Amino acid sequence: QVQLVESGGGFVQAGGSLRLSCAASGRAASGRTLSTYAMGWFRQAPGKERDFVAHISRYGGDTYYADSVKGRFTISRDNAKNTVYLQMNSLKPDDTAVYYCAASAAITDYTSRSYAYWGQGTQVTVSS
């Protein structure tokens, strides 16, 4: 099935920027590829639940962000490269978490329940 691999995490100072990438490969049993899936980014801090961060529609026309990141983060995609991005600016210590990308064939809400495929995660650490 679809495989997602995140990259671009790292250790930055507050106010800095990072760009995360999520590369997709393979196909779902239906034959669908990343270009036909809505995509999302989630994050999980130690000892906490996995929380929604950002979403982008399958054609890139619509985006949606958690209140905690809107105005600072930007989600985008390049379907020709089978890649989705998360540009993170003005980073805060509270942004520290493992970040996961995910793919959804059918969005019903902006929780993890709507996403069928997940990457392995990439660590983002923001110092104060």
How much is the mean pLDDT over the chain? Answer: 94
CA-closest candidate to residue 124, choices 6, 4, 5: 6
- Measure Cα distances from 116 to 3, 35, 67, 107, 112 in Å: 11, 15, 24, 10, 8
pLDDT tens for 68-116 read: 999 999 999 998 898 999 999 999 999 999 999 999 988 888 999 999 9
Is 84:56 a contact under the CB 8 Å cutoff? yes
Strands 51-56 and 38-44, sheet pairing: antiparallel
Q: What is the pLDDT of residue 32?
A: 77
Q: What is the pLDDT of residue 99?
A: 98
Percent with pLDDT over 70 in the chain: 100
The residue among 16 and 59 whose pLDDT is bigger is 16
Q: What is the pLDDT of residue 34?
A: 76
Q: What is the pLDDT of residue 102?
A: 96
Give 30's pLDDT tier (boundaries 50, 70, 90).
Answer: confident
**pLDDT exceeds cutoff 80 at 45:** yes
